Each structure stands twice: as C-alpha cells, then as structure tokens.
Amino acid sequence: MTTYSAISSVTDSAAAASAMATGIKVNNGVVSMAYPGDGGELETSLEFFRDRCKSTGLVTSDYATHTTPAGWGAHEPSRSNYSQIAQDYLHQTRPNVILGGGGNGLSQSDTEVAGYTVVTNRAEMQALNTESGTLISGQFTSGALEHEWDYFNEQPGNTFFDTYPHLSEMMQTALDILDSVLVSAP
C-alpha cells in the first residue's frame, strides 16, 4: 500500500482513510468522493458489507466526524463538512455503531431522531444491552477522547478517566453489539 494522495506525495487523513476505505486515491481534503474524477461517491468497505447484510461500525478516540472514520462512513468534497458527515452517517451509510467523541456536527438530538440510542459516558455504554441494540451512538465529550496510553497513566480521582470510556472498551462494546445484530438489506 502506498500513502500518497492523488495530488501530492504527502497525504492527509481524509485522502488516506478514503484510499483505505474505497481502494481509490483521492485529493487531499476529500472524503470518499471521486476527486479527481467525476465527483461521484466512491463505495466504501462499510457500504459494501452493509449491502451484504453485515453489521458495521465506526469506533474512534477522535470526534466521530473526524476524517479518519468519515473515510468509511461519509462522502464529502471537504473534510471540514462535519455536519454533512454526520448527516451521511445518520441518513445514508447508517453504521450500526458509532462510538467516539461528540460534537463537531453530530448532535444527540439528530442522532436520536435518526433512530439511534445515544450514550454519553462510560457507565451508560457499559449498561447497554449489547444483545438487543441495533443502532447505537456513543457521543463522549464535545471533542476527542484521550488516547489509550493516557488511560494507562491516569491519575486517581481524574474524573475524565472515570467518566469516559477507553478506546479498548469502546471497541469491545462495538464488537459485542455487531456480533449480535441481525441486519437486513438496505
């Protein structure tokens, strides 16, 4: 695998995630759309598997609409279109699980209207019935979460670490949900 984008030997996270998710190189700043090209949406692996009745999810320690997860779950000409990336998740690609930092275009009310159960802290996430949840969104903090390494070096009594889940905890929750979700064709 090479890491350059369609227009530069130095890639950004939007172009890199798009190339990994679609198999096609795009311009820096573009999220899974044919630039260069006709500007059409490029099918992502998330969509490929969803269309074959597989459960799908996006898990990140960054905010959920950041370009790295967006490469798999959105189609936007600009990596900065956070609200549109959120709308792509909620109304177009519809991953079964979205876990990461909140805000940046992804609101609890819009997510609930789209049919997702929203959790906002570690305790709520751990209380989820992973056998029956089909659309789950964890929107923790109003931005990015701490890196996994920071949790291993946490200081006792730090409420951030007590309140929000580790990446490894989010990943295990997502796998438990995705393992039990029965999906029908879109």
- Alpha-carbon distance of 112 to 159, in angstroms, equals 26
Nearest 5°: phi and psi at 99?
-125, 125
CA distances from 94 to 63, 81, 138 (A): 17, 17, 14
Eight-state DSSP code of residue 81: -
- Alpha-carbon distance of 88 to 120, in angstroms, equals 21
**Residues with catalytic annotation?**
13
Return the closest-CA partner of residue 57 out of 186, 185, 146, 170.
Answer: 170
Contact indicator for 141, 61 with CB cutoff of 8 Å: no
